[in-house]
Amino acid sequence: MALRSNRKWILLLLGVAFVGLVLSSFWMRMVVRVTREGNEALRISDKDYPTLATNAMNGDEGAARKLWGHFEFVVRDKAASYHWERRCAELGNQTMRDDLARLSKKYELISSQIVAFSDKVDKGDIQAAYRLFEYYQFTRSDDGRSYYWLTRAAALGDKRAQESLARFDARLKEQRAK
C-alpha cells in the first residue's frame, strides 16, 4: 500500500517536472525571440545612416543614441558602438558618461603593462594586441593608436578585430565616395 502511494507521488512529481521543463523551454524561446526582434528594431538602414550620423555630429543626442544602439546590439561592433556612446556622453547623456567611466576603469593599463603587452604582440600574441586596442579605444579615446592595435590584432588573426576592421574600412570608403 505504501509503495503504491509512493508511486503516485513520484508520478505526480515527474509530471510537474515535465510541465516545468516544457514551460521553461517555451519561455526561453520567447525571450530569445523578443530579444532578437528588439535588436532588429534598433537596425538602421544604409539610407538612414548618413542623416543620423550628420545629425549626431551636429548635436542631436537622440540620433547618437540610435546609432549607439544599432552598433551595440545589432551590428555588435565594439569600436563603432563606443564612438557613438562617447558622442552621447559629450552631448550630456549622464547614463553614457557613467558607462564610459566604468569602461575606462575596466580597460585601464599602467605603463609597464603597455610595454609588456607590446612585447607580447611582437611575439605574435593576438590577445595582447586586442587588449591594447581596447585600452586605447576605451580608456584613452585615442582613435589613431586604437586603429593601429586593431589592425595588428586583425593581422595576427583575431576574428573580432578582422570583423571590426572590415566594417570600419567599409564605412570609411563609403564616406570618401561621397
- For each successive 10 residues of the chain (178 residues), what is the average pLDDT? 62 66 52 52 87 94 92 84 90 90 87 95 96 90 90 95 86 75
**Maximum alpha-carbon separation in the chain:** 85
Cell numbers for 168, please give them: 570600419
Residue 89: other Cβ atoms inside 10 A: 20
- What phi, psi does 93 have (nearest 5°)? -75, 110
8 Å CB contact between 78 and 164: yes
Between CA 4 and CA 12 the distance in angstroms is 12
Q: What is the pLDDT of residue 31?
A: 44
Q: What is the pLDDT of residue 1?
A: 47
Query: What's the pTM value of the predicted model, to 2 decimals?
Result: 0.60
